[in-house]
C-alpha cells in the first residue's frame, strides 16, 4: 500500500493539507477542500475572485461556441458548392 498522508491513522491529514484543491459555492460562501474535506467560510474577496473567474469562463465558453457554430455553417455552405474537378484526357480521347 502506498504511503499517503491520509493512510496513516496517527497523522491528521487535514492539518498537513494546504487546501489548494477546493470547491467554492459562491451562493453560500462555503468552500470545501477536495483532498481533506475541510470546510470554511470564504472572504468577500475570495467570493468576488471566484465570481470573476466564473464570468471569464462563461465568456470564453460562449466565444468558443460561436466559433464552432460558424465553423459548422461554413462547412455546410462549402458542401453545397460543387467542386471543379480536374479532368485529364485519356489516351483514347486525344484528338490526333
DSSP assignment, residue 91? G
Q: Does the predicted model carry a pTM greater than 0.85?
A: no
Reduce the secondary structure of 38-70 to three states and give it as a string.
CEEECCHHHHHHHHHHHHHHHHHHHHHHHHHHH
pLDDT per residue as tens digits for the range 46-71: 999 999 999 999 999 999 999 999 99
pLDDT above 90 covers what percent of the chain? 48
60 or 78: whose pLDDT is higher? 60
pLDDT per residue as tens digits for the range 32-45: 998 898 999 999 99
Using the predicted structure, report yes or no on whether residue 96 has a pLDDT greater than 70: no
Amino acid at each position: 500500500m502506498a504511503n499517503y498522508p491520509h493512510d496513516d491513522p496517527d497523522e491528521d491529514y487535514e492539518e498537513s493539507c494546504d487546501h489548494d484543491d477546493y470547491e467554492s459555492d459562491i451562493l453560500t460562501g462555503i468552500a470545501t477542500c477536495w483532498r481533506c474535506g475541510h470546510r470554511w467560510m470564504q472572504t468577500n474577496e475570495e467570493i468576488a475572485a471566484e465570481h470573476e473567474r466564473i464570468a471569464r469562463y462563461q465568456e470564453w465558453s460562449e466565444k468558443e461556441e460561436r466559433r464552432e457554430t460558424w465553423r459548422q455553417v461554413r462547412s455546410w455552405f462549402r458542401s453545397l458548392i460543387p467542386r471543379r474537378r480536374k479532368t485529364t484526357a485519356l489516351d483514347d480521347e486525344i484528338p490526333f
